[in-house]
Amino acid sequence: MLLRHTTDKIVERHALTVNPAKTCQPIGAMYASLGIRGCIPHSHGSQGCYAYHRSTLTRHYKEPVIAATSSFTEGSSVFGGQANLIQAIDNLFTIYSPEVIAVHTTCLSETIGDDIPQIVKKAEAEGKIPKGKYIIHTNTPSYVGSHVTGFSNMTKSMVDYLSQGNGHKEKCINIIPGFVEPSDMEEIKRITSELGIKSIVFPDTSNVLNGPMTGKYKMFPKGGVTVEDLKKTGCSIGTLALGRLASGAAARALDTKCKVPCELLDLPIGLEATDTFIDTLRQVAGVHVPDSINIERGQLLDIICDMHQYFYGKKVGLVGDPDQLISLSKFLISIDMWPVHIVTGTPGKKFEKRIREITKDSPYKVNVKQSGDMFLFHQWIKNEPVDLLIGNTYVKYIARDEDIPFVRFGFPILDRVGHSFFPTVGYRGGMRLLEKILDALLDRKDRDSSETEFELVM
Amino acid sequence: MEEILSQDNSCLAPEELKQEILHKYPVKIARKRAKQIIINKVNDNDVPEIQANVRTIPGIISQRGCCYAGCKGVVLGPTRDIINLTHGPIGCGFYSWLTRRNQTMPKNEKDHNFMTYCFSTDMQEEQIIFGGEKKLKAAIQEAYDIFKPKAIAIFSTCPVGLIGDDVHSVAREMKAKLGINIFAFSCEGYKGVSQSAGHHIANNGIFTHVIGKDDTIREGDYKINLLGEYNIGGDAFEIERLFEKCGITLISTFSGNSSIDQFANAHTADLNLIMCHRSINYVGDMMEKKYGIPWLKINFIGAEATAKSLRKIAQYYGDEKLIDKVESVITEEMPFVEKAINEIKPKTSGKRAMLFVGGSRAHHYQELFKELGMGTISAGYEFAHRDDYEGRKVLPNIVVDADSRNIEELNILPDETRYRPRKNEETIEELKVHGVPIKDYEGMMPTMDENSMIIDDISQYETEKLIEFYKPDIFCAGIKEKYIVQKFGIPMKQLHSYDYGGPYAGFKGAVNFYKEIDRMVNSKVWKYLKAPWQIKTELVAKYVWE
């Protein structure tokens, strides 16, 4: 037993987190920054933070992840990191010449209270910022929120720093795709262009964190939203924010700053959430949904219908980020599966309420916790076993100990590939998710069946 | 080797390449980096001076991590039966959770093994404002109530140092209350200039709080400790196998496949073997001063290096029985190695490697490459000090700067009851003359070729330039560099995590490594980087439209 000390006896804990279901803000900010073309994310703090974030993102995407750090030592922690950041800005523009440096803070620089805009202003006055280049920043104290909060904060900063309105509205829709994979951002762009809609998707890590192997390394790949497009977001006719937690803040900021109206939708994971996404797109842009999309939708329905017997009534345990879990829970329920244990590490008030609403017809007692951890999740499973687990790579230890089929979904996935290339959003993404769920369930059925019951056709 | 060095595709001499690299930097930065980029010149073990263990320049994009990573991740991380509790916001604990793949083998199902757990106080804004000691105490109590561990180690992260939580007094208080060993580390990420500071803080802590606490004398003829071996990919298991075969008794490993009981008993050994000189050499020194145990630098990376190290251990004891046993084990193991080398070497010979890792691996792995007929054209450490490059003879000349002064140096005196010199000075001198370099390490540069480029704390830009210039056949570094190097079309071997392979230590490990490098440098994938239409770009039209 790998988690041999986890017993079914649940003891209230107030101070100790065991096996967290979240990580800290700066990594989310770093991920979002990588979705701007020509951008170097910069971590203002000691160098361990950026090393850890780069390592985790690299392990998850299996792609180069470039970022820089202010490399605080004891002195900078006492006297402030101004000199470090100015030197870093100078070095980064001189050596690597990025278009944008996206600075995020860490718990260290937040606690000492470094004022990033003031430092950037000083760098500018000293001529350290070349003409036409940008520095944007966000505050990401690690002791507030989670990686999702960090993503949201940096995405909002893109609006705060770069979006510009000029009174004219272009026939273009902004889409804020949420803390999803590069493949998902790509799929969102594909669906939108299939509908014949011009869009600006930001941040956009497609072609940055799922790039090709060519024999040539490019520090700044051709993916990512351009600064020029980010500026234009202020002139779009509307914004769709996918995932309230990760995308809501940026969408609202854009409304306030440039009067671009926004709609906050669930992440388009699964049938209903994708329906809503496409229907909203249709109405905002005033377009007809093409048959190609109807075909995809029908194909997803076809799988649900064909394989329904294997989904029906199955109990599922879920660990992940709030936006994902809300849509995923809805999707599972739409195919007659029942999420019974749901944990997110990310704090927030609305999550539990939303999940309670979604699962209100459940025949089972539903355990749900925000600011929870995987130790508690595992204990719930010991008390009430499930048929399937869905979560990030760390869940594999629970899956092995409890011998439960497991589908990897969420962040981080450190031990498998595919997530950066194949989406889980949209109808096609739904089809892929169902394929993975079926593979896990049917592999288990094959493994567990007696020789007499072993089926050729399923 | 000269030939291997001159295979480069450009006519730039190393010195010119160095100048070209420096040219891009702002003047002040160039001046500093110039001292950290050295063209090797070996003259009777005399090598040029390199600047090391100095602050990372902000914004150069370095490979380095932090003090916490060195303390919690590297040194204490592999010890299975301690609850390692990170006091701080969630990130630090999360990132150091299982990512160093320390394999461990508890004796039975019931033994404590907390390796798969991540414990954190998950500090929130409230604790940053009002202090986190209360939450820390409560977390220790909860950890004790649920897990009943033998010991709890507490690790401070950056904000803890800033707000001034006294983790040491919390540890003392809870130790008194709960009656188990509880100790804390002030290993905030900003301390020192790299992971190295964290190793030092961790080792000092173990030395102060654990070593010497259990005087049980274990049976066995040749009792040793293995220091600086972290059991990545099961390296320690292979080394343990060899010790057992030779009849050598392993008291403790610092710290791979390790337990706190082994640490407590470590002072009963008669010899300390040092693998990673950087992370732990001072523990060897301290154990000598306090308990009279000499240390010996060994290297179990490479079959030849392994054989040599086993022979040195036997010579240290000077016991014919052990000397014969070691010889027979080597004779028994080598055919397996030779068979692999005969098959693989023709496919790897003449190829060129670069190594930029850690604080000893960049040296040790050169042995394995040599066995494959491969040369190392450039190497450097992520967090080493000058002695790791130039040898311990430079120790008296190393200027202690402010960042190093902040890391506590323990003042060690002989233990009143436990000090027992295992060898007298005369014997030690005699052993040195006979090729058993007690308390010595020659460093990496003396064993590297003339004109090879040694770079301390290499930056992203320098990595790119080196690759463009030398086009090595393989590059060794860590996860952050992995896919950058690979995008150049050059195989990249992770030497921190071994790309989830290994073990590479000892004889079996050497063979694993030969096969791995053969697979990597001879993989078909590198031939497919260009599509047929990118190689032959002219277009002959089959359809002609009027």
Write out pLDDT tens, residues A111-154.
999 999 999 999 999 999 999 999 999 999 999 999 999 999 99
Write out pLDDT tens, residues B303-342.
999 999 999 999 999 999 999 999 999 999 999 999 999 9
- Asked if A146's CB is within 8 angstroms of B159's CB, the reply is no
Instruction: Give the pLDDT score at A416.
Output: 98
Instruction: Give the pLDDT score at A426.
Output: 98
What's the average model confidence in pLDDT over B362-381? 98
- Asked if B488's CB is within 8 angstroms of A216's CB, the reply is yes
Q: Is A88 on the interface with B (CB under 8 A)?
A: yes
Neighbours of B218 (CB within 10 A): 11
Write out pLDDT tens, residues B429-457.
999 999 999 999 999 999 999 999 999 99
- φ, ψ for residue B13, nearest 5 deg: -75, 155
Instruction: Give the pLDDT score at A142.
Output: 97
- Asked if B488's CB is within 8 angstroms of A71's CB, the reply is no
Instruction: Give the pLDDT score at B544.
Output: 65
Instruction: Give the pLDDT score at B7.
Output: 57
Instruction: Give the pLDDT score at B386.
Output: 97
pLDDT band at B5; cut points 50, 70, 90: low
Locus of tokens 């200039």: B193
pLDDT of residue A83 exceeding 70, the answer is yes
Gap between the Cα atoms of A148 and A347, Å rounded: 10
Estimate to the nearest angstrom the gap between the alpha carbon of A121 and the chain centroid: 31
- Asked if A88's CB is within 8 angstroms of B89's CB, the reply is no
Sheet containing strand A236-242, strands side by side: A199-201, A170-176, A236-242, A262-265
Q: What is the DSSP string of A143-198?
A: TSS-HHHHHHHHHHHHHHHH----S--EEEEEEE--S--HHHHHHHHHHHHHTT--
CA distance B41 to chain A (A): 29
B15: CB partners within 8 A, 6+ apart: B39
Angle between helices A244-258 and A147-162 (to 10 degrees): 20
Q: What's chain B's average pLDDT?
A: 95
Contact A76, A84 (CB under 8 A): yes
Instruction: Give the pLDDT score at A22.
Output: 98
Q: Tokens standing for B307?
A: 């054989």
B286: CB partners within 8 A, 6+ apart: B207, B410, B412
pLDDT band at B9; cut points 50, 70, 90: very low
- Asked if A14's CB is within 8 angstroms of B94's CB, the reply is no
Residue of B nearest to A213 (CA): B487
CA diameter of chain A: 80
pLDDT band at B212; cut points 50, 70, 90: very high
Contact B88, A48 (CB under 8 A): no
A58: CB partners within 8 A, 6+ apart: A64, A65, B479, B480, B482, B483
Sheet containing strand A100-105, strands side by side: A68-69, A39-44, A100-105, A134-138
Q: Tokens standing for A427?
A: 């109808």
What's the average model confidence in pLDDT over A371-377? 98
Catalytic residue numbers of B?
Answer: 66, 69, 100, 199
pLDDT of residue B541 exceeding 80, the answer is no
* Partner B, chain A 267-326, Cβ-Cβ below 8 Å: none
Q: Is A52 on the interface with B (CB under 8 A)?
A: yes
- Considering only CA atoms, give the Rg of chain B: 25
pLDDT band at B6; cut points 50, 70, 90: low
pLDDT band at B10; cut points 50, 70, 90: very low
Q: What is the DSSP string of B477-508?
A: E-HHHHHHHHHTT--EEESSSGGG----BHHH
- φ, ψ for residue B320, nearest 5 deg: -55, -40
Query: Residue B203 to residues A21, B75, B198, B358, B408: CA-CA distances in angstroms?
Result: 31, 7, 8, 17, 11
Write out pLDDT tens, residues A200-246.
999 999 999 999 999 999 999 999 999 999 999 999 999 999 999 99
Write out pLDDT tens, residues A409-424.
999 999 999 999 999 9
Contact A93, B60 (CB under 8 A): no
Within 8 A of A59 by CB-CB distance, chain B residues are 99, 479
Instruction: Give the pLDDT score at B4.
Output: 61
| Complex ipTM value | 0.97
B262: CB partners within 8 A, 6+ apart: B251, B252, B253
What's the average model confidence in pLDDT over A160-172? 95
Q: Is B25 on the interface with A (CB under 8 A)?
A: yes
pLDDT band at B45; cut points 50, 70, 90: confident
Q: Give the one of A14, A144, A375 whose C-beta lies nearest to B138's C-beta.
A: A14
pLDDT band at B542; cut points 50, 70, 90: confident
- Asked if B158's CB is within 8 angstroms of A107's CB, the reply is yes
CA distance A359 to chain B (A): 29
CA distance A181 to chain B (A): 18
Which of B129, B158, B533 is the best substitution to test chain A (most A C-beta atoms within 10 A)?
B158
